[in-house]
Structure 1
Amino acid sequence: MADDDLEQIRRARLQQLREQGNDGEPSEQDAKQQRESTQRTSILTQILTPEAADRLGRIRLVKESRATDMENRLIMLAKTGQLRAKVTEAQLKELLGAVAEQQEKEESRIVVNRRGGGGWDDDDLDDLLKDV
């Protein structure tokens, strides 16, 4: 199943290169990108259940950056040996929720930069009240 998918991806990419006028000869950079893409696909098929892979594909349709981020995180977890079994759809949902919550916390932080020197302090308020 996965080999068929990889072969279809390879054929589609080769056809795309031919249409671009490269005479079917991919450049070194294109070949490198193709190898990396194939490696990513291979790793993801090894660490995701079919249902989880399907969900990740649907996420990619809506927001590609989020799907790529999740793929990178999953690949990192796999490479560091933190995954003991294939990731299920439920586990993927939990991971997505945790990442979304973390991003919300980072975005909702309010940073106040106080400038020294020329601002108001308590003495300034006292001075104003004396004048009244």
Structure 2
Amino acid sequence: MADPELEAIRQRRMQELMARHGAQGNQQNNEQQKAQDEARRDAEERRQMMLTQILSSEARERLARIALVKPDKARGVEDVVLRAAQTGQIVEKVSEERLISLLEQINSQTTKQTKVTIQRRRGVDDD
């Protein structure tokens, strides 16, 4: 009689401990997630500040319009501009014309060849 009661008490206690441990784990995961999100936001804010210093207002507007249509291409152009500024290749603000020439260079390097293949359906009575 004592054994089933004792076993039930042990089971409840075990469930309580598991629930408490799970809640602590979730809390740690939430804290880690918040820290990662904040770090991402800080990095993105620093990136935008650097771009503001490097690009002229017209160039930033053009890049923003490109980002609306092709965000990955805009991100790549931003990376190239930031890398060039960090290595000292860019000493003055990038004008819209220079950004356009940079975009043209990137487009010429990354052109994708599309190939169209036509496969005709064969009818049942075709020999």
**TM-score calculated relative to the size of structure 1:** 0.59
The answer for the alignment partner of 2:66 in structure 1 is 59
Gap runs ≥5 in structure 1: 1-21, 109-132
Gap runs ≥5 in structure 2: 1-29, 114-127
The answer for the alignment partner of 1:74 in structure 2 is 81
Matched, 1:36 2:43: yes
Match of 2:89, SS state, is coil
Larger radius of gyration, structure 1 or 2? 2
CA shift, 1:84, in A, is: 1.4
How is 1:106-117 mapped onto 2 (pairs within 5 angstroms)? 107-108=112-113
Match of 1:27, SS state, is helix
CA distance in 2, matches of 1:88, 1:60: 17
The answer for the alignment partner of 2:108 in structure 1 is 101
Runs of 4+ in 1 over 2 A off after TM superposition: none
The answer for the alignment partner of 2:96 in structure 1 is 89
Overall identity of the aligned pairs, in %: 38
What's the CA shift string for 1:36-68, capped at 9, x where partnerless? 111100100000000000000000011000000
How is 1:39-50 mapped onto 2 (pairs within 5 angstroms)? 39-50=46-57
Match of 2:110, SS state, is helix
Partner letter of residue 74 of structure 1?
Answer: V
The number of residue pairs the alignment matches comes to: 82
Over aligned residue pairs, what C-alpha RMSD do you find? 1.4
CA distance in 1, matches of 2:85, 2:45: 16
**TM-score calculated relative to the size of structure 2:** 0.62
Matched, 1:27 2:39: no
What's the CA shift string for 1:78-101, capped at 9, x where partnerless? 111110100000000000000000
CA shift, 1:71, in A, is: 0.5
CA distance in 2, matches of 1:102, 1:68: 16
